[in-house]
Amino acid sequence: MELKGKYKLSYTLDKEPGDLTFEVELKLIEGLMRPGQNVWHGVALLNGKPYETNLNYCVDAKLAAQRIGQSLRDQLKENAKKTGQSFRIKKEEII
């Protein structure tokens, strides 16, 4: 079980560099818990800003960061294709 995970992507969009950083951190739930409730809840950040996604049942932050980061990458790629821009991945890391 990983408590922190980070997905970093360096890319170019029409020869202009860009970076995407997606972080997930699992934190303990404070207060009273219901029976059968997960002890951890996930907090996600996209480029340092809060990102709304359902991480209630997340048990591994690294896998969640990889899964969501790759879906964000695919969205960037799809949007670039729709607008006729060139999208190239320079570096992709999962930390």
Over residues 1-17, the pLDDT tens digits come to: 899 999 999 999 999 99
What pLDDT score was predicted for residue 34?
85
Structure tokens at 94: 């999962």
Separation between Cα atoms, residue 73 and residue 51, nearest integer Å: 15
Task: Give the global pTM.
Answer: 0.88
Residue 75 vs residue 56, higher pLDDT: 75
pLDDT tens sequence across 13-47 = 999 999 999 999 999 988 888 888 888 999 999 99
What pLDDT score was predicted for residue 37?
81
What pLDDT score was predicted for residue 93?
96
